[in-house]
Amino acid sequence: MAAFQQGDANAFGELLSRHQGPVMRYLFRFTGNRDLAEDLFQEVFLRVVKSAKTFRAEAKFTTWLYRIARNLCIDKARRNGLVTMVSTEEVAMGRNPDEGPTIGERLKSEGPDPETAAGRQVLAGKLSRALDELPEEQREVFVMRELLDMPFGEIADVTGTPENTVKSRMRYALEALRRRLRAVGTITAEEAR
């Protein structure tokens, strides 16, 4: 970002290529609509260009970027009178192959054992459904932490909530996921600890 602020046009291309996949997944997960996510993606990077001079390196670029993306999603949802997040299963089924591996793909067996691969796909589906049952605030923190690999401090900055609140939401999300997976027989009570 510093190079782009100094007028290096190639630096913008690097920012775009580096963050395109994760930002698109986030926008699609939030909106549930690929076309809308693509429109918002363009708006996110248009705002990056327009606001480049005001960006200060006091915060991480990704924090600033996801704050823009989140605010655009919330604004759009408010205008439409609807806030929704798409299931991870839908993201896995409807994603662009250039956006990186899905949870299901990461859980797939690399070996030739089809029974193991099928079991992992079933587990991915159960996990996805359990995620869909989480309250929106917990699901958002879980997605940012586990799917986007963001640290808690950065999630707090993006969502505008205290870091301890973010950690609590993550703890509650994990507890709820354990309970749900135990209830559907995916894990034992011992594994849930």
Q: What is the spatial distance between Cα 8 and Cα 3, in angstroms, rounded to a whole number?
A: 5
Structure confidence at residue 191 (pLDDT): 54
Structure confidence at residue 43 (pLDDT): 94
Q: What is the pLDDT of residues 24-47, one digit of tens each?
A: 988 887 777 889 989 999 999 999
Task: Judge contact between 34 and 94, C-beta under 8 A.
Answer: yes
Q: What fold, for 1-86?
A: Rna Polymerase Sigma Factor; Chain: A (1.10.1740)
Q: Which amino acid does the sequence have at 17? A: S
Structure confidence at residue 121 (pLDDT): 66
Does residue 151 carry a pLDDT above 60?
A: yes
Structure confidence at residue 83 (pLDDT): 46
Across residues 170-187, what is the average pLDDT? 83
Structure confidence at residue 132 (pLDDT): 79
Using a cut of 0.75, tell me whether the model's pTM lies above it.
Answer: no
Domain edges within the chain: 1-86
Across residues 65-82, what is the average pLDDT? 82
Q: Identify which has the larger pLDDT, 30 or 72.
A: 72
Structure confidence at residue 93 (pLDDT): 46
Residue closest to 128 by CA, chosen among 154, 102, 149, 160? 102
Q: What is the pLDDT of residues 92-140, one digit of tens each?
A: 444 444 445 544 554 444 554 566 656 666 666 777 778 878 888 888 8
Q: Nearest 10 degrees: CA dihedral of 61, 93, 187, 181?
A: 80
Whole-number mean pLDDT of the chain? Answer: 77
Across residues 72-97, what is the average pLDDT? 59
Q: What is the spatial distance between Cα 139 and Cα 130, in angstroms, rounded to a whole number?
A: 10
Structure confidence at residue 95 (pLDDT): 44
The two structure tokens encoding residue 164: 């301890």
Structure confidence at residue 114 (pLDDT): 60
Structure confidence at residue 127 (pLDDT): 75
